[in-house]
Amino acid sequence: MEKTPFVTLEQLKEIEKNYPTPYHIYDEKGIRENARRLKQAFSWNKGFKEYFAVKATPNPYIMKILSEEGCGSDCSSYTELLLAKSIGNVGSEIMFSSNTTPPEDFALARKLGAIINLDDITHIDFLEKVAGIPETICCRFNPGGYFELGTDIMDNPGDAKYGMTHEQIFEAFRILMQKGVKHFGIHSFLASNTVTNDYYPELARQLFELAVELKQETGASIEFVNLSGGVGVPYRPGQEPNDIMVIGEGVRRQYERILVPAGMDNVAIFTELGRYMLAPYGHLVTKAIHRKETYKHYIGVDACACNLMRPAMYGAYHHITVMGKDEHGKRVIYDVTGSLCENNDKFAVDRDLPAIDIGDFLVIHDTGAHGFSMGYNYNGKLRSAELLLQEDGSVKMIRRAETPADYFATFDFEGATIKVDAEDK
Ligand SMILES: *Cc1c(COP(=O)(O)O)cnc(C)c1O
């Protein structure tokens, strides 16, 4: 499939009057329609709930839109819990799926009544000491080995730090029941950014079989199965996207085959999707500010890896549209670079693009999840603004850009604060 931006060049020129590049912009209409499709795909399950993985796009305006579409919040830290609380998601609207959890995070999760997902068997004692054991709890499972679909190795859970072994989860259930837990869930995250309709159904099969075993051996009341994140998006043009209806139907088949005959037809399905909910509905908008010709053709833009780390960190592909340029006109093989003193600060390497002029807008696609949120301040770079393209076509700023004062806010130097003096402007 071709990738077309959800904003036009005319809109970008209009936006520029109020908001300079670079910025992240999100498409409210796309977010809502996608969230409704997900809900529809799992409407066969009475208790279905998506807990949006806050780390993907930790902005309360975005979280609020999703909560209006019925989504809870999947949090993994103290500040993510506070974000969930700020939009009114408390109690069972929060799934607290963390690992290596600090005591104060557990304490806040308990105080907010979040559903706690235990990453390890030793966390039972830890949680009991710092916050007490709640009546509802979830345990995270790691089957070890490789996660395969057919002959494809999708990921390597045996090498991942998360979750309990098969033996440990049975032991954890027994201990938790003795400590008064009444309602259980199980969770697992076995492969990331899967672009196949078979991931969730296969994960569901493994978790449903485990749920039946756990119930039969421990007598625990298993009330939900959390399929977590991992449903991906096609970052490359031409990649076949997931069909969420087919995925929902695939999970339903396993449910009917495994849980229903075991008398477990009341189990709710939960998801913790991040990327699938947001990635396609965000763009990083940047402008070409330099062209450099040495051993390669370079286009320097006003965004850098601090605004989008995935290409530098994982070599991830993000599609780029040069706005207003004829795709069939003159083309050049470019490296598109940011300004960090780091040679991996490149949004694209050897990318065949329409010839770019200084001042052209470049739209970097699929940055709505794990984009802004992975930002950092290396080289004294500042985080950009986040904008929301609302359903009526108007644009609202949902986070201002950082200023030097934000960067200096956490220290005093010899008693004085560092600030931008009039002469530095
Ligand atoms: C990262 C994460 C998610 C979301 O993953 P996506 O790939 O963005 O869907 C969900 N749950 C947990 C526990 C995670 O760590």
pLDDT per residue as tens digits for the range 347-363: 999 999 999 999 999 99
**338 has pLDDT over 90:** yes
- Spatial CB neighbours of 129, under 8 Å, sequence gap ≥ 6: 103
Verify whether ligand 1 is closer than 6 Å to residue 272 (CB atom). Answer: yes
Burial 272-299 (b: 16+ CB within 10 A, else e): bbbbbbbbbbbbbbbbbeeeeeeeebeb
- Ligand 1 midpoint to CA 301 (Å): 30
Average pLDDT over the chain, rounded to an integer? 97
Verify whether ligand 1 is closer than 6 Å to residue 74 (CB atom). Answer: yes
Render pLDDT for 123-153 as a digit per residue (tens, 0 to 9).
999 999 999 999 999 999 999 999 999 888 9
Cβ atoms within 10 Å of 107's Cβ, excluding its own: 15
Verify whether ligand 1 is closer than 6 Å to residue 318 (CB atom). Answer: no
Verify whether ligand 1 is closer than 6 Å to residue 191 (CB atom). Answer: no
Q: Report which protein residue has its CA nearest ligand 1's atom 7.
A: 230
Name the DSSP letter for residue 198. Answer: T
pLDDT score, position 89? 98
- Residue 308 in contact with residue 284, Cβ under 8 Å? yes
Q: Tell me the DSSP string of 17-82.
A: TTSPSSEEEEEHHHHHHHHHHHHHHTTTSTT-EEEEEGGGS--HHHHHHHHHTT-EEEE-SHHHHH
- HSE-CB at 420 with a 13 A cutoff on CA atoms is 7
Q: Report which protein residue has its CA nearest ligand 1's atom 2.
A: 229
Name the DSSP letter for residue 194. Answer: B
Verify whether ligand 1 is closer than 6 Å to residue 45 (CB atom). Answer: no
77 pLDDT band, cuts 50/70/90, is very high
Verify whether ligand 1 is closer than 6 Å to residue 270 (CB atom). Answer: no
Q: What angle do CA 414, 418, 421 make, to 5 degrees?
A: 130
- Ligand 1 midpoint to CA 420 (Å): 39
Residue 39: what residue type? K
Verify whether ligand 1 is closer than 6 Å to residue 229 (CB atom). Answer: yes
Alpha helices in 42-194 (DSSP H): 60-68, 78-86, 103-111, 123-130, 166-178
Verify whether ligand 1 is closer than 6 Å to residue 230 (CB atom). Answer: yes
250 pLDDT band, cuts 50/70/90, is very high
Atom index in ligand 1 nearest the CA of residue 370 equals: 8
Verify whether ligand 1 is closer than 6 Å to residue 53 (CB atom). Answer: yes
pLDDT score, position 151? 85
**Ligand 1 probe mutation, 272, 276, 278, 366, most atoms within 8 A of CB:** 272
pLDDT score, position 414? 76
- Ligand 1 midpoint to CA 166 (Å): 21
Render pLDDT for 176-209 as a digit per residue (tens, 0 to 9).
999 999 999 999 999 999 999 999 999 999 999 9
Cβ atoms within 10 Å of 139's Cβ, excluding its own: 29
Verify whether ligand 1 is closer than 6 Å to residue 84 (CB atom). Answer: no
User: What is the chain's length?
Assistant: 425
pLDDT score, position 204? 98
- Ligand 1 midpoint to CA 94 (Å): 14
Verify whether ligand 1 is closer than 6 Å to residue 368 (CB atom). Answer: no
Q: What share of the chain is helix, strand, coil (3-state, %, to 5)?
A: 35, 25, 40
Q: How far apart are CA 230 and CA 387, in angstroms?
A: 26
Verify whether ligand 1 is closer than 6 Å to residue 386 (CB atom). Answer: no
Verify whether ligand 1 is closer than 6 Å to residue 124 (CB atom). Answer: no
- In this prediction, residues 56-75 reach a mean pLDDT of 98
Verify whether ligand 1 is closer than 6 Å to residue 189 (CB atom). Answer: yes
Verify whether ligand 1 is closer than 6 Å to residue 264 (CB atom). Answer: no
Verify whether ligand 1 is closer than 6 Å to residue 87 (CB atom). Answer: no
Residue 151, helix vs strand vs coil: coil
Would you state the structure tokens that stand for residue 342, as one six-digit string? 């780091």
- In this prediction, residues 313-333 reach a mean pLDDT of 96
Residue 249, helix vs strand vs coil: helix
**Ligand 1 probe mutation, 34, 74, 203, most atoms within 8 A of CB:** 74
> What percent of the chain is modeled with pLDDT above 90?
94
Q: Report which protein residue has its CA nearest ligand 1's atom 14.
A: 229
pLDDT score, position 2? 82
pLDDT score, position 55? 98
- Give CA separation, 30 vs 33, 90, 108, 147, in Å: 5, 26, 33, 31
- Ligand 1 midpoint to CA 233 (Å): 13
